[in-house]
Structure 1
Amino acid sequence: MDRLRLSIHQTNALIGMESKDSSISMRSPHGELSIEQPKAKMDIQSPKGELVIDSSKALDALAMGPHLRFMNNIYSQSPNVLQQAISKIVEDGNRMIQITNPRNAFADNAADVFTRKNPIEYATPASCLNVEVQYYPQKPIVHIEQQRPIINYTPHMPEIQYNPGFLNIYLQQKNSIQFSVSKYNMYA
């Protein structure tokens, strides 16, 4: 006995996928840096020192000083000269009073007049210290003006390259259903 048989054949759909990863490459070049340091401005002034030379004592020792100082020098000696003159007169008088002295007192007094040293000193004593030298140094005036450094920096942008990936989805096999009817012998 023949019977009919229903056959159903089904094929599933197949999805195909193809992908490629994305990639990124980055490069960061160094920036350009320039630094300049200008020299500091410096101003140095050195005032001249003061040199004081006082040779007035040396001129007085040579009796060549100013007239007023010369006369003051003589005037300052006057009291001593007066006292020496009075004592000399007293000494001469005492010598003349001595009758018992075998020497001639008048002749001795006359001889003393010619050999006597003048009591007035017209010049002051000579010395190597008569010239006074004094030096007054002056401090230097230093003015320094600092200069700031000049810094220039030029950055460079990073170089970025991006390669996008992709995903390709496609239908590799279509789905299908087939129905077929066939004869079928149950005893065969």
Structure 2
Amino acid sequence: MNIPKLLIQSTDAKVGLSIQQPKQHIQQPPAELQIKQPSAEISISVEKGQLFIDASQARSEYGFKTIQELEKMAAKKGYQDLLDGIARRAREGGQLMSIGKNNNALQSIAKSKTSPNSKSLGIVFIPSAKVKLDYKPAEVDINVQTKEPIINAKINKPIHNYTPGKVNVDLIQYPSLKIDWLV
């Protein structure tokens, strides 16, 4: 006996994919930066130092005198010479009054006027040469005023280009099913 056979023939479906890759482009422009630094202001004031030298004592001891000192010395010497002259005249007047008692009164007066005064030779004294110094140091005042920097920054946004990808699905082959009987 012949048994009929069932024949089944099938065809699978075929799917085709068409893929377009996404594209992305990112660019970051640099920031725009401007920096200005104003100059600092500096002021300097100086009060000069002063040196005071007082050599009047040393000059006086060496014989160099100021006008005021010379005037005082001349006035003092003139006053002393006046007193000495008065005393000498009074002494000579007393001697002349006693001319009758003393025979050599005129002779002693004449001798005192004509005899040279003896003077010693050599250094009488050594001056101390003291010089007084007084120093007032200089004063310096420095003032500095700093300035803050001026900073202007502009941040640029990134440039972003994006093309999305695509997927296309196509049915290349349709499925099929064929059934037959074979006897």
TM-score by length of 1: 0.54
1:18-29 to structure 2, matched below 5 A, reads 18-29=18-29
- C-alpha distance in structure 1 between counterparts of 2:25 and 2:66, whole Å: 103
1:110-129 to structure 2, matched below 5 A, reads 110-111=113-114
Could you say which residue in structure 2 is the equivalent of 1:61? Answer: 65
Indicate conservation of the 8 Å contact 2:19/2:167, yes or no. Answer: yes
Could you say which residue in structure 1 is the equivalent of 2:177? Answer: 177
- C-alpha distance in structure 2 between counterparts of 1:164 and 1:63, whole Å: 111
Could you say which residue in structure 2 is the equivalent of 1:94? Answer: none
Could you say which residue in structure 2 is the equivalent of 1:151? Answer: 151
Amino acid paired to 2:148: R
Alpha carbons of structure 1 residues 163 and 173: separation in structure 2 relative to 1, 3 Å:
same
Q: Does 2:33 align with 1:33?
A: yes
Number of equivalent positions: 143
Alpha carbons of structure 1 residues 18 and 66: separation in structure 2 relative to 1, 3 Å:
farther
Amino acid paired to 1:179: I
Q: Does 2:117 align with 1:108?
A: no
Q: What is the CA-CA distance between 1:43 and the residue it aligns to?
A: 1.6
Summarize deviations over 1:135-168 as a string: whole Å, max 9, x none. 6342221111222322232221221211211111
Amino acid paired to 1:106: I
Unaligned runs of 5+ in 2: 92-106, 118-128
Q: What is the CA-CA distance between 1:10 and the residue it aligns to?
A: 2.0
Amino acid paired to 2:35: I
- C-alpha distance in structure 2 between counterparts of 1:8 and 1:62, whole Å: 151
SS in 2 for 1:106: helix
Summarize deviations over 1:90-149 as a string: whole Å, max 9, x none. xxxxxxxxxxxxxx543221236xx77xxxxxxxxxxxx9x9886634222111122232
Amino acid paired to 2:110: A
Could you say which residue in structure 1 is the equivalent of 2:43? Answer: 43
Amino acid paired to 1:43: S
TM-score by length of 2: 0.55
Could you say which residue in structure 2 is the equivalent of 1:136? Answer: 136
- C-alpha distance in structure 1 between counterparts of 2:66 and 2:140, whole Å: 40
SS in 1 for 2:19: strand
Unaligned runs of 5+ in 1: 90-103, 117-128
Indicate conservation of the 8 Å contact 2:48/2:139, yes or no. Answer: no
SS in 2 for 1:167: strand
Alpha carbons of structure 1 residues 62 and 5: separation in structure 2 relative to 1, 3 Å:
closer
Indicate conservation of the 8 Å contact 1:56/1:65, yes or no. Answer: no
Identity %: 27
Indicate conservation of the 8 Å contact 1:36/1:150, yes or no. Answer: yes
